[in-house]
Structure 1
Amino acid sequence: MKRFISTIRNIFSIEDLRIRILNTVGFLLIFRLGSYIVLPGIDPSKLAGEAQGIFGLLDTFLGGAFSNASIFGLGIMPYISASIVLQLLTVAVPYFQRLQKEGDSGRKKINQYTRVLTIFITLAQGIGYLTATIPAEAIVMANRTFFTGSSIVILTAGTIFCMWLGEKITDKGIGNGISMLIMIGIVSRFPAAIIAESLSRGMSQGLILVLEIVALFFVVMAVVMLTQAVRRIPVQYAKQVVGNKVYGGQRQYIPLKVNAAGVMPIIFAQSLMFLPALIASIWADTSDMAQYIGTTFSDFQSWQYNALFASLIIIFTFFYTAITINPNQIGDDMKRNGGFIPGIKPGKATSEFIDGVLTRITLPGALFLALVAIMPAFASMAGVTREFSQFYGGTSLLIMVGVILDTLQQIESYLLMRHYEGMMKSGRLKGRSQNVAVA
């Protein structure tokens, strides 16, 4: 406990770090406040309540702003959608590939395209949001055309403001701003989920609640292990004698993460899981099979739903890993820089070796990621309330763990730069102080 208190004291004794943490807290408070400001012309008492399905997932990310019909009703999600589109374009379109290789100037252009695309996506999603999620009786404004137009403008402005908040957190605060906004929305639902679970259990089942919290702790630890797991490939650089100095000869490594795809496979798979029920609903009145498919794939506890969900996650994990990590480029960069893997010939043999290692570590990572994704279904089957079961896995838990670890690593880097050892004594975060080969 003394070490923990000492760590907190060391953190706030660094003026720059203290200001960044306070800035982050302030920006997050503004974001949470905006999620409770309802759109003009809506009676909040007549809203439908918590959203379900894909809307429920969005509502979790936005901390209830989606179901509250707030000015931040779409939040940062259109920006994330635009970022995913631009990321895929950098793989498929040569023009965006060239921009990505141009350094800072190329990244600035890609960011500009992302922001413009965010506006168009927000306009399109705003129309769907107003027509599909807000009940007609909740709209108290007489002029529906004016209400729709003004609400779309407000939602777009709210998304742009959330995007600005995220950039300010990254620039003036601590951690990745966009990820922090999503994480705070998820964390804000946790106290209500705990209270709902406690009320459902009652005093007579207090031991079961304790066991559920213990199980949640071990699930979180397993996700931390998945997030931090790295396969290190040793790299040796040849020595070069220039005049009286010797360059190179260092032994470094290439870190290949077991879960290199992160949370993206779950997001992609989740977006496709609503297609079977949506398509089946078209013929639900005329076909018993369509009605069965719609019912089955609308129930996230059914084995058919979870089997398809897990399969899609495994496929998307391999797909996303393949488009984000290029073994051929890594092998070529190593060859140009005079690096080689001991026992492996430079060039094509090195690329094939890296590709083989990447395939072997991606399979168990994909299987474990699929298991984490369907854990809420098992928790719900075991009697856990729907709100609390969402924290036993899935996108929410992976985002929380990833963002918290990234933020802690940034704080630790400040402590290391200022020669404070408080956090280091409390437990060093893996992979911060060793040489990494830049491919």
Structure 2
Amino acid sequence: MWDAFTIQYTTYARTTSTTHMKTVQQVWEQLQERGYIYRGTYSGWYCRDDETFVPQSKIYQNSHGTYCTQETQRPVEKLDESTFFFKITALRQRLEDWLNSAETNIVPASYRTTMLSSLADMEDVSISRPSSRVGWGIPVPNSPTDTIYVWFDALCVYFNTHFVESGGRTGVWPPTLQILGKDIVRFHCLLWPAILLALQVPLPTNIHIHGHWLVDNVKMSKSLNNVLDPALLVRHLRHVDTVRYALVAFGHSKFTDMSFNPHCVVHRLNSDLANNLGNLLMRLTSSALLPIPRLPSYEELHSLRDEEEASDTRIRVVLEGVYDRVATSYKNVEPEDAIHTAMNALTEINQYINQQEPWKATAGRRQIVVWYSLEGVRIVLGTLYPIMPTKTIELLTQLGITNFCDVCRKQQFKEFCGFNTRHADSTVPQTVHRFDRNVSPFTKVHTFDV
């Protein structure tokens, strides 16, 4: 699936690997040696489905009289058992300092307040389970009757053996950005940083939390048979990049859950890609506006300066500001805002063409309008590369711009997206492929075997 969606990664780790098991046990032993792990007895509520202990304040009684967790609505039971605890209370003040630090960027900021509130009444965390009940877990070192709590185990996937031995000084930690689903914030913003503090490893400073995808405002569930299959989405929407675009355009990067509505998706793709971008490319490369499939050189364009108008300066100012706004959106992990900026620029170009009516103008005036417009398309396509990498390269190549792969390899996006950086005397074929319109919205939602 990663390869199909053109997503690259450096490392893919499984919590079932032998290496991971050794790392988890090594982390456990280091914490135990430092006095942060001790054996005690837990008495309270336990959720078997979630494999977690639940504080009294997070329990409610449903209409059937069953006690359940507020977070997952799953049943809980009273339990008394021997367990190992992680002494998170000894790190409470340091965790509070980290959460309150101006250097710790948690987005949305409301989660900072939520975590501080949870930390205030947080008790030491049970980090083991009896092997008689959870036999599939990683064994606790030197205690064969216990296995390690699954979330302590899972968090250690960020480590590797060399990482632990070096105290986190491997050149890749802390991360410049950590992206989390909203349902695992407590583990990553309380338990995980506490483990790092105890191991004297640097803490992350930039954490972004996102909501969930829904289908028609209902949470995806295998039992409801409403889980979207990404492979089927590609078949419905005809190209993997259109699926990437749809997910970014609709998938708000903030806390809010987003509902995947097929009708809205098709309408948005037709509006943005088929109409705003696709039709613009067709107009600019048509024989009416580009009778000779070649853009003028800089020298030729300079000779036409006396035919330039105020509208040309205005569209140039718009296009010169596109890259900085898009780059800021990507830096802030707001790719949907990058799309908004790119589409606004294309709308401005379309309006510029409509107002100038180059098909009625002199040859010189027509060349100026087409040159400015295609320059704008080039800039916009460059900014959309992170979202539509395959389609971007394809369209730029068709527009006679053959150096974009080098731009990507050298990370020279700012230079490429500058105004007036197109190669002189560019050939523009009159066979630029447009985005196909999705005529009828797909209505069936297919189960994806997760």
Same-fold call, TM > 0.5? no
Bigger fraction of residues in helix = 1
Per residue, is there more strand in 1 or in 2? Answer: 2
Larger RCO: 1 or 2 (CA < 8 Å, sep 6+) = 1
Give the greater-gyration-radius structure (CA): 2
| TM score, norm. by length of structure 1 | 0.22
